[in-house]
């Protein structure tokens, strides 16, 4: 779940880390309090999610440890709260803090998988479109136009709905797959457009022609020569997209058409808590809500900062 890209790069090229620490991006990072705070928050969320099985004080899925007498306890600092449950418990006596950590794990897993899938799809189609051109390019770009004219969340909802109708008694894995696919299919367009644009520029350059002259095939030129040169902007887009994917996942789960109820994500937790809003048990809904807010906002801010830091026009 963590991104292996920086560490791999550092291992492959000696001194890459040193160069990074000396570079513009790191300097801009150190001077931007917003970037520091938001990256700390993102790291906290990711760590809580990644190490949930070891960090969480309780196991919210272990039915044996749940006690109904502990149900709906408020956070521990309130009068009726118990020190055992820092943020209180839900209607089945689950510890909210632990449920949050496991929920963030599921939310982030779905979001990252969806973003990864849409990056792969978008980059592949963009490369093809920009490199081959002609009718294929025209067709892919028309599809992009159409996709862009619908809001992402609507497309995801419609694909998810159609998927659910096709597999009415989908088991857990399939429900996850449909959800991830639905989010990924809404996100690939911007990668395809970006990559297409830069591929068309790269295609004209001498190294591509040189590769052609020595007889390298088109597929190999696209993969080995053009691809590494068009990936930069994609990474920035992908960072911002994770926030978007987290929100779409949470929304679909909140609407009851997202992750299966056996593995509750942050959206599912909010949905469950929503039923208890009127009986005064605000904490069941508010904590996952705040967690989602913090996660989405800090990833967004980090992405914004990264875009500005890497954009040579603004410097």
Q: Which of 257, 259, 272, 284 binds another protein (CB under 8 A)?
A: 257
Per CB under 8 A, contacts with another protein among 117-146 are: 142, 145-146
- At closest approach, how far in Å is the CB of 296 from another protein? 5
Q: Does 243 bind another protein (CB under 8 A)?
A: yes
Q: Does 282 bind another protein (CB under 8 A)?
A: yes
**Length of the chain (residues):** 315
CB of 215 to another protein, least distance (A): 40
Which residue, chain included where needed, has tokens 């902007």?
233
Under the criterion CB under 8 A, does residue 33 sit at the interface with another protein? no
Binder to another protein among 230, 236, 237, 296 (CB under 8 A)? 296
Closest to 49 measured CA to CA, from 88, 99, 96, 8: 99
By CB under 8 A, name the one of 129, 198, 268, 300 that touches another protein. 300
Distance CA 109, CA 184 (A): 13
Q: Which run of H or of E encompasses 243?
A: helix 232-254
CB of residue 251 to another protein, shortest distance in Å: 6
Residue 149 engages another protein in binding (rule: CB under 8 A)? yes
Q: Which of 312, 308, 315, 295 is nearest to 39 (CA)?
A: 295
Which of these segments, 126-134, 181-189, 194-202, 290-298, binds another protein (CB under 8 A)? Answer: 290-298
Taking CB under 8 A as the binding criterion, the range among 5-13, 25-33, 46-54, 255-263 that sits at the site for another protein is 255-263
CB distance 41 to 89 below 8 Å: no
- Cβ burial of 53 (10 Å; 0-12, 13-18, 19+) is exposed
Does 150 help bind another protein (rule: CB under 8 A)?
yes
Residue 178 or 230 having the CB closest to another protein: 178
- Binding residues among 168-197 for another protein as defined by CB under 8 A: 168
The CA distance from 314 to 9, in Å, is 26
> Is 195 in a helix, a strand, or coil?
helix
- When asked if residue 255 is in the footprint of another protein (CB under 8 A), the reply is yes
274 binds another protein (CB under 8 A): yes
Q: Is 89 helix (H, G, I), strand (E, B) or coil?
A: strand
Segment near another protein (CB under 8 A); pick from 4-12, 217-225, 228-236, 271-279: 271-279
Task: State the number of binding residues for another protein (CB under 8 A).
Answer: 40
Nearer to another protein, 9 or 154 (CB): 154
Interatomic CA distance for residues 293 and 285, integer angstroms: 12
Judged on CB neighbours under 10 Å (0-12, 13-18, 19+), 59 is middle
**229 near another protein, judged by CB under 8 A:** no
* DSSP bridge partners of 95: 89
Cα gap 293→71, rounded to integer Å: 25
For residue 271, the minimal CB distance to another protein (Å) is 9
Q: How far is the CA of 252 from the CAs of 60, 157, 260, 262, 288, in angstroms?
A: 22, 7, 11, 15, 15
Binding of another protein by 23 (CB under 8 A): no
Residues that bind another protein (CB under 8 A): 142, 145-146, 149-151, 153-154, 157-158, 160-162, 164-166, 168, 243, 247, 250-251, 254-257, 270, 274, 277-278, 280, 282, 285-286, 289, 292-293, 296-297, 300-301
């Amino acid at each position: 779940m963590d991104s292996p890209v920086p560490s791999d790069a550092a291992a492959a090229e000696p001194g890459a880390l040193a160069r990074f620490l000396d570079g513009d991006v790191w300097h801009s990072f150190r001077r931007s309090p917003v970037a520091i705070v938001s990256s700390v928050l993102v790291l906290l969320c990711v760590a809580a999610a990644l190490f949930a099985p070891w960090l969480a004080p309780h196991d919210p899925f272990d039915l044996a440890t749940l006690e109904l007498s502990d149900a709906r306890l408020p956070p521990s600092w309130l009068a009726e709260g118990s020190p055992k449950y820092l943020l209180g418990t839900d209607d089945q006596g689950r510890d909210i803090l632990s449920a949050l950590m496991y929920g963030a794990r599921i939310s982030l897993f779905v979001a990252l998988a969806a973003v990864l899938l849409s990056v792969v799809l978008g980059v592949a189609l963009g490369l093809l479109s920009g490199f081959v051109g002609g009718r294929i390019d025209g067709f892919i770009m028309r599809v992009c136009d159409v996709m862009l004219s619908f809001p992402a969340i609507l497309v995801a909802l419609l694909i998810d709905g159609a998927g659910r109708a096709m597999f009415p008694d989908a088991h857990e894995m399939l429900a996850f797959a449909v959800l991830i696919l639905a989010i990924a299919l809404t996100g690939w367009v911007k990668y395809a457009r970006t990559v297409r644009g830069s591929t068309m520029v790269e295609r004209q350059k001498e190294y591509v022609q040189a590769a052609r002259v020595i007889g390298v095939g088109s597929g190999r030129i696209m993969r080995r020569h053009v691809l590494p040169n068009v990936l930069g902007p994609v990474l920035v887009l992908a960072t911002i997209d994770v926030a978007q994917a987290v929100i779409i996942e949470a929304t679909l789960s909140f609407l009851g058409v997202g992750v299966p109820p056996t593995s509750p994500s942050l959206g599912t937790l909010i949905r469950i808590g929503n039923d208890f809003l009127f009986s005064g048990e605000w904490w069941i809904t508010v904590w996952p809500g705040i967690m989602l807010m913090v996660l989405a906002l800090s990833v967004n801010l980090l992405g914004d900062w990264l875009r500005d830091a890497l954009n040579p026009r603004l410097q």
